[in-house]
Amino acid sequence: MPVPTQADLKAIMNLEPKQAIAYLERKGFAITWDWHEVDEATHARAFTVAKAARLDILQDIRNALADNLKAGKTLKDFQRELTPTLQAKGWWGKQIIVDSDGNAEKVQLGSPRRLSTIYQTNMQSAYMAGRYTAALAASKTHPYWMYIAINDTHTRPSHRALHGKVFRFDDPIWQYILPPNGYNCRCRFIALTAAEVKRRGLVVESSAGKLASKHVDTGTNKRTGEINTARVAVLRTTDQAGKKITFSPDPGFSGSPIQSHLFDDALYQKAQRTFGTAAGVREVQRVLQSPLRQNAWNAFIDGSQKFGYSQGKTMAFGVMAAEDIAFAKSMGAEVQSGIAYLEDRQLAGPKYRRHTTSGDALTADEWKMLPHSFANAEHVFWDVANHTVLYIFPSNDGRQGKIAIRFNRLKVGSNSVDDAATAYKVTATDIEDRLTRGLYMRIR
């Protein structure tokens, strides 16, 4: 059996505070009025608190959570230290607030109980995201993950029914039931070796044929009277006594760290381990084009454009083909992993506004199609002057979409990455002209 690596030991010993802190600190912000306005994909990449309509309030709350994690403090410390700040800024107690549509509503802002819910939910999400990435790194030696519930009087019966369930780390079920699965959920999971599964007499299940989804009501919008709904995952299985059960996460929690910034790091490490191999590219590409990841990408596009200006956030959207990596390296490029990242400044910064004014900006739908368009580019060129790899794909208006990948110019977390230097529309005539003049070299 392989000797456990440092990553294996982290998964076993649950040493994930550093990653949990990164999960919180690298989130952007989303300003919302009601909690049901934000889906799980947005929650995975943006920090939001309902009725916190000011950016400074969101920053205060998120920074307090991150500081609490770093210092190893408690919920009481969080409440005691943050309360005076929120009170001084007027975000406390029940107040009549006018929303962005000019409607007045009596709402509950800060309170000890509300801070407790914010603390418990965000801390649990951060720790589980940290544990997820550590366990993913250890998956070769610990490929089986077991759901653990706290079996006391406060535990939801449906959560207790999943206690002891074991699935492989790559079973799709973990994209939907990874804790937390609701507000104040205290569930977790642990990573096990094959020997541990056998020694404990555990049964490894598969979710094949057991997964579905449904729409559930999440309440009525007091301003419009509209009934809000959300789609949640449904798992049909049996509990430890063999009784049939149906499990669904609470609305807004049917997500996974696969949608978060931390998973970008996990993909980066995997791409580096399989650097430039066709098999490695296919594996990373499969994840980047999965439905859950596409949901997260859509949320990144919508959230960045709705926010209106860059927060310095990034998201991985594609991986270069092995032959593209090889060509770029032969031209002296310092390729880092072959995974392509996009900065939100492309979606809401001066460059975006410049291309919009020029009439050659990608539309929101074209941005959302980028993972697919990148993976299925019609042409790939080397830009001789700029030392970038160009991916050319059809746009919605008959022109060609062009995205340029540059190397070792951007840092994401602690990693130097390959990123989209620019993306906009060009004509086929312009591309042919540049090829003829020797400004572009064809890769494939």
Start-to-end CA span in the chain (Å)? 42
pLDDT(418) > 90:
yes
Cα 166 to chain centroid distance, Å, stands at 24
- Distances in Å between the Cα of 128 and the Cα atoms of 76, 179, 201, 359 are 21, 7, 25, 43
The torsion region of residue 312 among left (phi > 0), alpha (psi -120 to 50) and beta comes to left
Q: What pLDDT does 6 receive? A: 46
Q: Which residue has the tokens 């969080």?
A: 78
Q: Is the dihedral of CA 385, 389, 393, 396 positive or negative?
A: negative
Higher-pLDDT residue of 405, 152: 405
Between CA 255 and CA 307 the distance in angstroms is 22
Between CA 402 and CA 374 the distance in angstroms is 9
Q: What pLDDT does 265 receive? A: 74
Out of 179-183, 192-196, 228-232, least confident range: 228-232
Mean pLDDT over all residues of the chain?
A: 83
Helix axes 261-273, 112-137, angle to 10 degrees: 10
Q: Residue 245 is which amino acid? A: I
DSSP secondary structure code for residue 32 in this structure: -
pLDDT digits over 306-328, tens only? 878 788 888 999 999 999 999 99
CB distance 322 to 309 below 8 Å:
no
H or E element that contains 394: strand 388-394
pLDDT(398) > 50:
yes
pTM, rounded to two decimals: 0.71
Q: What pLDDT does 219 receive? A: 67
In 3D, which of 383, 384, 102, 256 has the Cα closest to residue 392? 383
Q: Is the dihedral of CA 432, 436, 441, 443 positive or negative?
A: positive
Q: Exposed, middle or buried: residue 24 (CB in 10 Å: 0-12, 13-18, 19+)?
A: buried
231: phi then psi, degrees, rounded to nearest 5: -90, 130
pLDDT digits over 24-78, tens only? 777 766 666 565 555 665 666 667 777 776 778 888 888 898 888 888 888 899 9
For the chain, which residues make up each domain, given as ranges? 6-247, 260-442
Q: What pLDDT does 223 receive? A: 62
Look up residue 223 and give its two tokens.
């301003």
Q: Give the whole-number percent of the chain exceeding pLDDT 90.
A: 37
Q: What pLDDT does 34 receive? A: 62
Q: What pLDDT does 121 receive? A: 82
Between CA 129 and CA 174 the distance in angstroms is 12
Q: What pLDDT does 118 receive? A: 85
pLDDT(12) > 50:
no
Look up residue 437 and give its two tokens.
């003049």
CB distance 393 to 378 below 8 Å:
yes
HSE at residue 303, side-chain half, CA atoms within 13 A, is 31
Out of 54-68, 100-114, 212-226, 242-256, least confident range: 212-226
Q: What pLDDT does 7 receive? A: 47
- Distances in Å between the Cα of 299 and the Cα atoms of 363, 365, 368 are 15, 12, 9
Out of 98-107, 212-221, 232-241, 350-359, least confident range: 98-107
Q: What pLDDT does 1 receive? A: 33
Q: Taking the CA atoms of the chain, what radius of gyration do you get in angstroms?
A: 23
360-373 burial: b if 16+ Cβ within 10 Å, else e: bbbeeebbbbbbeb
Between CA 42 and CA 6 the distance in angstroms is 31
Contacts of 132 (CB under 8 A, 6+ apart): 178, 256, 257, 262, 263
CB distance 440 to 428 below 8 Å:
no
337: phi then psi, degrees, rounded to nearest 5: -145, -15
- Distances in Å between the Cα of 148 and the Cα atoms of 153, 188, 265, 405, 436 are 15, 5, 26, 43, 62
